[in-house]
Amino acid sequence: MGTCRVKKSTRYDSEPMTIRRRLTFSFLAILVLFGLNLVIHFWSDQQRSATVETLRRAIARQILIASIKQDLHDLQRQVALLSQVPVEATSSGAGPDEITRFNNQLEPIRQQIEELRDLSDFEARNKVASLEKTYQELSASWRIFYENFGANQAKAVTELAMHAEPLSQRVVHELVPQLEEDEKRRVEVASGNFYGVASLTGRITLLIFIFSTLLAIAVAFLVSRHLTLGLGELKRGAALIGNGDLTHRIAIETRDELGDLGQAFNGMTDNLLSARTQLTQANQELERRHQEAEKQRQVSESLLLNILPVSIAKELQAKGTVEPKYFEDVTILFTDFVGFTSSTEKLAAEDLVRMLHDYFTAFDQIMARYGLEKLKTIGDSYMCVGGLPVRNPSHPVDAVMAAFEMVRTVNEPNRPGHLPHWPVRIGIHTGPVIAGVVGIQKFAFDIWGESVNYASRVELSGVPNQINLSWRTYSRVKDFFECEYRGKVLTKDKKEFNMYFAKGILQNLTDNSTQIPPLAFLHRYRVYFQHDPPAFPAFLLESPPTSSPLIGV
């Protein structure tokens, strides 16, 4: 690249106002304009730098306030949730490690407030100081509440109600929103100033450049080579930059407007390259947050599937509601522990809850093996249903096999000697129901109908460690299980119904073999239902029901 130079004359004519003198005057005028252009350029840079710095500090403060607001909301929610924990659920106050972790959660907010104070201008420092002082009082009150919760509940509750809650409300709903609104206004003002200064300086620079160029045309003969080389380099550099080559730099070595323009292009290219780098980083951050949001969505979906059946959960996600459905044929199973109520007066709370948890966890695993849908537990009562939401003709047989495993689980001698043994009473009935989701908070999938009431009466009319069947269920499973007719049983509502005890697998379906399930049972199951059984209680093959019942009274 050649160096652009203007060839200077070595002699002057004596006549006044000669062409050379006119050119000299024009050249001097151009030099003055060039100098003015440089002044405007540096002034523009100074103005833009000042407005950029103001805007940067305002945005930094806005980000800090948003972070403080989010962290305060999280801590306020944490303290609120902790305050709702029943006192009997905590045997003592928080340990040293928990208190340390809680203090570590308070410290970043204090540091952010200090950083916000350092970034704030004189107008906002009083409000930041007020926030800092109030937060010190709030954090001290939260510490008192956290250290005394569970250990000195009265002091914890008093501290929360009298100090922490009013202070947190003032910080979260008054001080922080005021600062946030002020910073929003300052960002808008700074942004407006930035664009206004950039527009003004840009127009001034452009006008001076155009005027200088027009005057330079008058002396084109003297500066033609200089302009040709300089403009050619600018044109090539602008084309490369326009095509996306932000690593290209315009190499004009002269210290004039063309050189300045080249430097301005180079500065613009640097800014564009920096902006592209920042955009790439922002896109990467956006992708990372998208992945985090997707993980959170999967966690939420997993939690929803733990509450509702899969098809019901998908309908709720897609529509926001679940239409009630009529199922003409399902099997309802109720269980109840005999002697549970009296045990609650003698057992420690942790033993009582642990026993129920162990039993119900085992029941949940059994339901999963046999494709039954757990609906709910009420106290020591466990309710599940087969045949919905996916209609399946084998649900009566599957429910009875699951019931055998539930009785077996309860009767296993794996309880500590000091804990009581609760016999289980199981009732099963088959019939039509209506199913749907009720509520908008802590919603639940449930079923209704006379079949549900009847199933409950069948369970209440049962015998400990026996599987009591209604006549409709018996008619659906009699080809698979040995059943004992109980006669007409008087229920709690003073009505008599035919009921049966399920005793075990029919002897002619056991094959006297150790294969699980037996071939005869498997063949009949396939013929009746056109698929294999989901599982099989192998212990039913240990002894025939006629000689040694598998389930005793």
Residues ≥6 apart with Cβ < 8 Å to 67: 112
Cα–Cα distance measured from residue 505 to residue 207, given in angstroms and rounded to the nearest whole number: 100
- What's 19-218's CATH class? mainly alpha
In the CATH scheme, what is the code of domain 326-541? Answer: 3.30.70.1230
Residue 337, beta-bridge partner list: 424
Contact 517, 394 (CB under 8 A): no
Q: Token pair of 476, please?
A: 């659906």
Backbone φ and ψ for 480, nearest 5 degrees, come out as: -125, -25
Q: In this structure, are residues 374 and 386 in contact, taking their beta carbons and an 8 Å threshold?
A: no
Find where tokens 């592209």 sit: 276
Q: Are 477 and 483 in contact (CB under 8 A)?
A: yes
What is the distance between the alpha carbons of residues 288 and 283, in angstroms, rounded to a whole number? 8
pLDDT at position 74: 81
Strand, helix or coil for residue 428: strand
Question: Residue 504: pLDDT above 50?
Answer: yes
Structure confidence at residue 399 (pLDDT): 97
55-69, 135-149, 248-262: least confidently modelled range: 248-262
So what's the pLDDT on residue 446? Answer: 81
Average pLDDT over residues 7-20: 48
pLDDT tens-place string over residues 396-406: 999 999 999 99
Place 418 in a pLDDT band, splitting at 50, 70 and 90.
Answer: low
- Whether residue 544 is predicted with pLDDT greater than 60 in this model: the reply is no
For the segment 147-162, the average pLDDT, to the nearest whole number, is 77
Residue 306 CA, chain-centre distance (Å), reads 16
- Looking at the predicted structure, is the pLDDT value of residue 56 above 60? yes
Residue 5: per-residue pLDDT: 47
Nearest to 68 by CA among 118, 126, 108: 108
CA distances from 72 to 85, 129, 164 (A): 20, 17, 12
- Compare 388 and 318 and report the one with higher pLDDT: 388
- Round to whole Å and give the CA distance between 296 and 288: 12
Task: Count the neighbouring beta carbons within 10 Å of the beta carbon of residue 131.
Answer: 23
Backbone angles phi, psi at 291, to 5 degrees: -65, -40
- Return the DSSP state at 308: S
- Give the H/E segment covering residue 447: strand 444-448
The whole-number average pLDDT for the span 431-435 is 91
Sign of torsion over alpha carbons 301, 303, 308, 310: positive
Is the pLDDT at 509 greater than 80, yes or no? yes
Q: What's the mean pLDDT in 313-342?
A: 79
* pLDDT of res. 332: 96
pLDDT of residue 525: 96
Out of 205-214, 337-346, 496-505, pick the least confident: 205-214
Contact 57, 50 (CB under 8 A): no
> Coil, strand, or helix at residue 501?
strand
Position 13 confidence tier, pLDDT thresholds 50, 70, 90? very low
Of residues 249 and 304, more confidently modeled: 249
Provide the residue ranges of all domains of the chain, joining segments of one domain with +. Answer: 19-218, 326-541
For 28-39, what is the mean pLDDT? Answer: 76
Burial tier of 206 (Cβ tally within 10 Å: 0-12, 13-18, 19+): exposed
Q: Enter the DSSP assignment of 461.
A: T
3-state SS string for 363-390 = HHHHHHHHCCEEEEEECCEEEEEECCCC
CB of 498 within 8 A of CB of 524? no
The enclosing H or E element of 328 equals strand 325-337
Per-residue pLDDT of 224-282, as tens digits, reads 666 677 777 777 877 877 787 777 777 777 766 767 777 787 788 888 878 878 888 88
Query: Which pLDDT score, from 0 to 100, does residue 320 have?
Result: 56
pLDDT of residue 471: 95
Local confidence band at 8 (pLDDT 50, 70, 90 cut-offs)? very low
The residue with greater pLDDT, 460 or 204, is: 460
pLDDT of 10: 43
Place of tokens 């085992």: 362
**What pLDDT shows up at residue 370?**
96
